[in-house]
Amino acid sequence: MKTSQTFMIYILAFGIFGIINTEMGVIGILPQIAEHYRISASQAGLLVSLFALAVAISGLFLPLLFSGVNRKRSMLFVVAVFVIANVVSIFAPNFTVALVARVVPAFLHPVYFSAAFTTAAASVSQTQAPRAIAKVFMGLTAGMVIGIPITSFIADISSLEYAMAFFAIVNAITFLTMVFFIPSMPVTGRQSYGTQIVVMKKPIVWISLGAVIFIVSGMYAVYSYFAEYLKTVTRMSPNQISLMLILFGLTGIAGNMLAGKWLSQKPRQAAIGYPLLAALIYFLVFVFGHSTVLMAIFIALWGVLFTFALNFAQYWITSVAPEAPDMANGLFVSFSNLGITIGTTIGGLFITGLGTHEVIWAGLLLILLGFVFIVIRMSVYHPNKALINMN
C-alpha cells in the first residue's frame, strides 16, 4: 500500500473515531447529563438508544441515496453536520434540544461509514481490501475504547460542556484534515438505484445478514454488560474494571490487524473459526469468571475476537454484493446496529430472569445461531459459483 494511500486510510479511520466517539463517548457522562437536565437515567439513555435506532433506519437507504455523490463531499458534509450538532449540544438549553442534536447527525452516520469503507477498499487491490478496511476499523475500536474514558475524565475534571466540546473538536480536526489531504473522489460509472437495490433479491444476501445479526448480537449480549459482569461475578474493583476495559481495547486493535490478514488470505477458515473461538472464550468466561487472573487472560483474547467480528461482519455482507458496495456497506451498518439492539435486549432479559452470571448463555446461543447461518451459506453457495467469491 502506497504511503499516500495509507495516510488517506488513517484519515478516514480518524473520521470514524470522531463519529463513534460522539456516539459512544456520551455513555461515560450519562449520569452528569441526567443531573444537568434534571431527568432520570433512563431518559438520559435515550441519547444512546435513539442514536442507534436512527443509524439502523437510515443505513437501509441513505448510503444508497448518496452513492452518486463525490465521496469527499459526502464525507465532509456528514462531518460538518456532526460538528454543528456537537456545538449545539454544548449550549443546549434543555434535554429535548440535546436529544435532537444527537439524533439528526445519527441519520448520516451510515453515509460516512459506507463512503469510508468503499474508498478504503477501492484504494488498494481486491485481495488487499480487507486489510485496508481493517485499518479504517481501528477508528471504530479507538472510539469505543478511548472515547468513553476520555470524555468521562474531561467531565470529572472540568464540566459537562467541556466534555461535549471534545466531540466537536475531534470532528472539526477531521473536517480540516479531509479538506487539505483527501483528494476529490467523484463517483465514476454510477449505478442506478434499481441496480443496487436488486441485490436484496439474492437469497445469499439475506443468509449473510442473518449471520451478521446473530454474530453481532452475540457479541453485544455480553459486552453491553461487561462492567456489570466483572463487578458482580469476578468481584473486581472500579479501577480494575477500568484496566480491563483498556486491555480489551488494546487487544481489540490487534484484532483489527489479524482480521485484515486472515480475511485476505483465508476467508473460509476465518468464517468457520471465529464463532467457534468466540463460543470457547464465552464458555471459559462462564466457568472461570470468578478468577481475576484468568479473566484478564480471557479478556485479552475476547478483545481480539470482538473487533475481528466487526471486520468479519462487514466482509461477510460486502463479499456477496460487490456490484453494489454502497448498498452493501449500508446494510452492514444498519443490520449491525440492529444486532446491537437485539443482543443488548436479550442479554438484559437473561440478567433479569436468571442473573448476571447467566448472561454468557445469551451470547453463546446467539453466536451459535450465527454459526448456523454461516454453515448454511458456505454449504449452499459453493465458492466456485458465480454468486459468491470466497477465494
Residue 11 lies in a domain: yes
Residues 157, 288: one domain? no
Residues 101, 212: one domain? no
Residues 6+ apart with CB under 8 A from 185: 70, 71, 72, 119
Residues 166, 265: one domain? no
Q: Give the model's pLDDT for residue 231.
A: 85
Residues 176, 67: one domain? yes
Residues 345, 283: one domain? yes
Among 147, 181, 215, where does a domain finish? 181
Rg (CA), the chain: 20
Residue 347 lies in a domain: yes
Q: Kindly state the percentage of the chain with pLDDT values over 90.
A: 36
Domain range for 313 = 193-380
Q: Once rounded to an integer, what is the mean pLDDT over residues 78-103?
A: 95
Residues 120, 260: one domain? no
Q: Give the model's pLDDT for residue 318.
A: 83
Q: Once rounded to an integer, what is the mean pLDDT over residues 31-60?
A: 83
What's the pLDDT tens digit per position in 215-271? 999 998 888 787 778 888 999 887 788 788 778 878 888 888 788 788 878 888 888
Residue 207 lies in a domain: yes
What grid cell was written down for 73?
Answer: 463531499
Q: Which residues of 106-125 are buried (b: 16+ CB within 10 A; e: fewer)?
A: bbbbbbbbbbbbbbbbebbe
Q: Once rounded to an integer, what is the mean pLDDT over residues 129-148?
A: 78
Residues 116, 57: one domain? yes
Among 113, 147, 181, where does a domain finish? 181
Residues 251, 271: one domain? yes
Q: Once rounded to an integer, what is the mean pLDDT over residues 351-371?
A: 93
Q: Which residues of 317-347 are buried (b: 16+ CB within 10 A; e: fewer)?
A: bbbbbeebbbbbbbbbbbbbbbbbbbbbebb
Cα–Cα distance, 332 to 314 (Å, whole number): 6
Residue 114 lies in a domain: yes
Residues 163, 242: one domain? no
Residue 120 lies in a domain: yes
Residue 318 lies in a domain: yes
Residue 257 lies in a domain: yes
Q: Give the model's pLDDT for residue 1.
A: 47
CATH no. for residue 264?
Answer: 1.20.1250.20
Q: Is 164 exposed, middle or buried (0-12, 13-18, 19+ CB in 10 A)?
A: buried
Q: Once rounded to an integer, what is the mean pLDDT over residues 385-391?
A: 39
Among 115, 149, 181, where does a domain finish? 181
Q: Is the pLDDT of residue 342 over 60?
A: yes
Residue 336 lies in a domain: yes
Q: Is the pLDDT of residue 11 over 90?
A: yes
Rounded to the nearest 10°, the torsion over CA 300, 302, 306, 312 is: 110
What's the pLDDT tens digit per position in 12-31? 999 999 998 888 888 768 77
Residues 81, 172: one domain? yes
What's the pLDDT tens digit per position in 285-311? 999 999 999 999 999 999 889 888 888
* Count of CB atoms situated within 10 Å of the CB of 137: 27
Residues 166, 223: one domain? no
pTM score, whole prediction: 0.77
Q: How many domains does the chain have?
A: 2
Tracing cell 476529490 back to the chain, one arrives at 184
Residues 242, 164: one domain? no
Tracing cell 438508544 back to the chain, one arrives at 49
